[in-house]
Structure formats: structure tokens, C-alpha cells
Amino acid sequence: MNYKEKVNNLLIDADIKLIEKYKAVALLVNSSVVAQERYINSEHITALSLIGGIPNHYRFNIEMDHQLGRERLINEYQTSIPKNIAEFYLITIVSSFDILLQEIYKILLEERELYDREIVEEKVSSAWYYKNLPDYFQRELKLKKPSKSKFKFQDYFNTYNILRQMRHSLVHTDGKLSDKQYYNIDKIEKKIPEEASVLNSHLIDGREIIFDMETIAWLRFWSHSFISTLIVSFEETLS
């Protein structure tokens, strides 16, 4: 199998994995809706114990049984649970592209430039320093814009970098953008078309990242669009 086939197979496999990841998210959302309707329609249910499903051998000798009342449960399923699912999905999507792009980078380095495994591993491990990876795709590989696409690879890559800033904010500042994170996003925004803006989209309100059902739908659409662009870009560039 040559390197072109390896890259193509990697991208197709990544697209399939994205479908599987969204399936898990969709099932979680469905479970949340079903549970919410159950508590709305079952007035005889007064509370839920949060440790009720934990086996006895995983419980502490002294346990505090935290219970949620019916109204609190309905509210949690309407707000907190969709938010948590969207947060999980953002981290999953960004991490998936981290791995995918590094794997492609490694294949290209092995084929086009380097044959020393240690040097390749060193370059891959520093893929995100000094913009090594995106610069390689743009300057060395000269990745082409798909002939029928409205956006080029760099537009998607810039949005991906914004999502990486959002993930960092979620992990470190609970989804509240710091001055540095906002500055970094605003700087990247100047490089992408206005219609692809993240700051002016539903995803960010002021300094707060919005995590809800629309965010999930946006991430699903963007991730598959990025994969499709990569598939066509590499096909047209490496042909």
C-alpha cells in the first residue's frame, strides 16, 4: 500500500469513527429526552438517589445519599445534561482531529522526506510547535482547495485551531474564555471568511462558550465537512 492509499484509508476510517462518535452522542441525547419526559409525566416519582445504582462493594462505609427531587431532575435533563453532552462532544471531536492530522503528518514525513524513525517521531511530537504541521500541509505539500468547495483547507484548519482554544478553555476555565484565549481566537478569526466566523456564531456569547443541542449539531456538521474537504484536497493534491 503506497502512502496515498494510506492517507485516503486513514481519512475514510476517521469519517466512519466520527459517525460512531456521533451515534453515541445521539443515544445520550435520546436517553436524556426519554428520562425528561418520564419525570414530567410520572408525578408519583418524587426523587432519585444518585448512588442508587452503585454496587455495595464500591460504596464507602459512610455514604452521603444525594437525592434530586422531581422538579430538579426535569431541570437537569433540560439544561445540565445537554450541556455536559456537548462538552464531551467538543473534546471528542477536537481530540479526534489531533490524532488524525498527526497520523497523516507522520505518513507524509516517512514517505516524502525522512526515513529515520527517530527523526520522524521527533517531528510528529513537535507537530504543533511553531506551526510545523499546518505549515507543512500548506507550504511543503501545497494542499489544494477542492474545486467544488466554498472553503479551503486553511479555513477549516483555522476553525479547528479555534476549537482547540475552546477545548483548552473548557478544561482549564470551565468554558469561560480568558483574555489570552479570546485574543488568540480573535486573531485567528481575521484569517477566515466572515461566514465561517465562530465569534459571531451561536458557539460563543461574549466570553462564554455555549454548550447545547445547537452546538452538537454545529460540531457534527463542521467535523464531517472538514473530513470531506481533506479527502478531496488530498486526492487532488496527491494525484
Q: What is the pLDDT of residue 152?
A: 82
Q: What is the pLDDT of residue 135?
A: 76
Phi-psi region of 107 (alpha: psi -120 to 50; beta: other; left: phi over 0): alpha
Q: What is the pLDDT of residue 85?
A: 97
Q: What is the pLDDT of residue 165?
A: 94
Encode the chain in three state secondary structure. CCHHHHHHHHHHHHHHHHHHHHHHHHHHHHHHHHHHHHHHHCCCCCEEECCCCCCHHHCCCCCCCCEEEHHHHHHHHHHHHHHHHHHHHHHHHHHHHHHHHHHHHHHHHHHHCCCCHHHHHHHHHCCCHHHHHHHHHHHHCCCCCCCCCCCCHHHHHHHHHHHHHHHHHHHHHCCECCHHHHHHHHHHHCCCCHHHCCCCCCCEECCEECCCHHHHHHHHHHHHHHHHHHHHHHHHHHC
pLDDT one-digit tens code per residue, 199-211 = 989 999 999 999 9
Q: What is the pLDDT of residue 215?
A: 96
Q: What is the pLDDT of residue 112?
A: 64
Q: What is the pLDDT of residue 143?
A: 81
Q: What is the pLDDT of residue 182?
A: 95
Look up the pTM and report it.
Answer: 0.90
**pLDDT-flagged residues of the chain (< 70):** 112-117, 119, 126-131
Q: What is the pLDDT of residue 34?
A: 95
pLDDT one-digit tens code per residue, 117-139 = 676 777 777 666 656 777 777 77
Q: What is the pLDDT of residue 114?
A: 58
Q: What is the pLDDT of residue 69?
A: 92
